[in-house]
């Protein structure tokens, strides 16, 4: 997976590794925009307002870690970015963050964008469940640490 010189915050923790890869202010927004059709450097820059040097760095990191890939534009004069399977696998993460933001980052009645399914209906809340169908919480899960 990606570069071998990565220094992991907590090498045995999947949450820490994921955060090391996409947990900064811009990376998930770039992934979000790629899911929404952004393909070029200019697309990402205009949608996010990110400084060009930071965008260059984040795009390189996302490509190096196999979340985005570069492809030739039809004109052949520049490169475009596409999500890899690993990048596309972040979709539920983006949806969950969006839904958390809808519940906790806006005042009641405050306007915000909405995620709709292909039929124009609001996407239902994502809920992780146990094998018995019960909602997963911090109270009914535990971490099995490696030695």
pLDDT given at position 66: 97
Distance of alpha carbon 129 from alpha carbon 127, whole angstroms:
6
Mean pLDDT of 3-31: 88
Distance of alpha carbon 12 from alpha carbon 41, whole angstroms:
34
Mean pLDDT of 69-97: 95
pLDDT given at position 2: 44
pLDDT per position as a tens digit, 63-73: 999 999 999 99
pLDDT per position as a tens digit, 95-107: 999 999 999 999 9
pLDDT given at position 5: 56
pLDDT given at position 3: 45
Distance of alpha carbon 105 from alpha carbon 137, whole angstroms:
21
pLDDT given at position 71: 96
- pTM for the complete prediction? 0.89
Mean pLDDT of 17-28: 94
Give percent of the chain with pLDDT exceeding 70.
97
Provide the mean pLDDT of the chain.
93
C-alpha separations of 129 from 32, 41, 98 in Å: 25, 38, 19
Distance of alpha carbon 49 from alpha carbon 89, whole angstroms:
25
> Which pLDDT band holds residue 7 (cuts at 50, 70, 90)?
confident
CATH number of 14-88: 1.10.10.10
Q: Would you kindly state where each structural domain of the chain is located, as residue ranges?
A: 14-88
pLDDT given at position 109: 93
């Amino acid at each position: 997976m990606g570069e071998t010189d990565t220094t992991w915050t907590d090498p045995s923790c999947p949450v820490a590794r994921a955060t090391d890869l996409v947990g900064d202010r811009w990376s998930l927004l770039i992934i979000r925009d790629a899911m929404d059709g952004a393909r070029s450097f200019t697309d990402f820059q205009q949608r996010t307002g990110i400084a060009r040097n930071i965008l260059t760095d984040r795009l390189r990191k996302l490509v190096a870690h196999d979340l985005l890939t570069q492809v030739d534009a039809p004109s052949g004069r520049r490169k475009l970015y596409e999500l890899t399977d690993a990048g596309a696998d972040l979709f539920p993460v983006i949806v969950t963050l969006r839904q958390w933001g809808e519940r906790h980052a806006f005042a009641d009645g405050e306007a915000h964008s909405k995620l709709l399914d292909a039929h124009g209906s609001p996407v239902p809340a994502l809920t992780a469940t146990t094998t018995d169908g019960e909602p997963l919480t911090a109270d009914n899960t535990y971490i099995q640490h490696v030695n």
